[in-house]
């Protein structure tokens, strides 16, 4: 399968359209229905390296407020005045790992995900300039690393568990370069792979 930028963008559009009506901003978050939900967005950074697509991940420090020590995509809660998930995702990626918004070509979004920590997260997929010099925010990010998309797509590299009382299964990958990808970030990764018809 030839994973061109146009193909990826098209598949993302099709998946969002199939999921139903959405808006261009955060208005779709119905806080009257569930006041606990906090809006958030992450950047799902795609990069081309060694003749294949990779995803860039971070491992959070033990000093952050939530998801301490976990592997994640760059991202976080939306700031007041931000009207779109793209604004949030690009700001957070710049703050956490020094990826300038001008160096990201946004291709689209994945469907929103509600986490167990009461965030409604919008994953924004974008291609980042690579190689690039990263500027890591020491308070939030312990490490930055990449994993090849083909490795992530190989079902032999992950487990899926059904847990009592949960509507969705838990996904965890085998360790890659000493890092453990699991939980919401693993779910977003698999959601992305499904959109691309790789999972």
| Alpha-carbon gap, residue 1 to 83, rounded angstroms | 35
Phi-psi region for residue 195, left (φ > 0), alpha (ψ -120 to 50) or beta?
Answer: alpha
Q: 58-82 as b/e, with b when 16 or more CB fall inside 10 Å?
A: bbbeeebeebeebbbbbbbebeeeb
Q: Is 41 helix (H, G, I), strand (E, B) or coil?
A: strand
Q: Domains in the chain, ordered, with CATH?
A: 5-147 (3.90.79.10)
For residues 149 and 54, the answer to whether their CB atoms sit within 8 Å is yes
List, for residues 116-130, the tens digit of each pLDDT value: 888 899 999 999 999
Categorize the per-residue pLDDT at 13 as very low, low, confident or very high, splitting at 50, 70 and 90.
Answer: very high
DSSP secondary structure letter of residue 196: T
pLDDT score for 26:
54
Q: Is 181 helix (H, G, I), strand (E, B) or coil?
A: coil
For the whole model, what pTM was predicted? 0.90
Residues of the chain above pLDDT 70, percent? 88
């Amino acid at each position: 399968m030839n994973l061109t930028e146009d193909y990826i963008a098209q598949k993302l559009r099709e998946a969002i359209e199939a999921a139903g009506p959405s808006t261009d901003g955060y208005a779709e978050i119905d806080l009257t229905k569930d006041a606990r939900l906090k809006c958030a967005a992450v950047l799902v950074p795609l990069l081309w390296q060694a003749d294949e697509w990779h995803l860039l991940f971070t491992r959070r420090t033990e000093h952050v407020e939530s998801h301490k020590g976990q592997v994640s995509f760059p991202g976080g809660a939306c700031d007041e005045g931000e009207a779109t998930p793209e604004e949030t995702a690009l700001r957070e990626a710049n703050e956490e790992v020094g990826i300038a918004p001008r160096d990201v070509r946004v291709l689209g979004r994945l469907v929103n995900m509600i986490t167990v920590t009461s965030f409604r997260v919008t994953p924004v997929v974008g291609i980042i300039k690579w190689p690039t010099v990263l500027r890591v925010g020491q308070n939030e990010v312990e490490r930055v690393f990449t994993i090849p998309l083909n490795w992530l797509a190989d079902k032999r590299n992950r487990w899926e568990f059904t847990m009592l009382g949960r509507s969705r299964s838990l996904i965890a990958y085998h360790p890659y370069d000493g890092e453990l990808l699991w939980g919401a970030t693993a779910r977003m990764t698999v959601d992305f792979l499904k959109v691309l018809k790789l999972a």
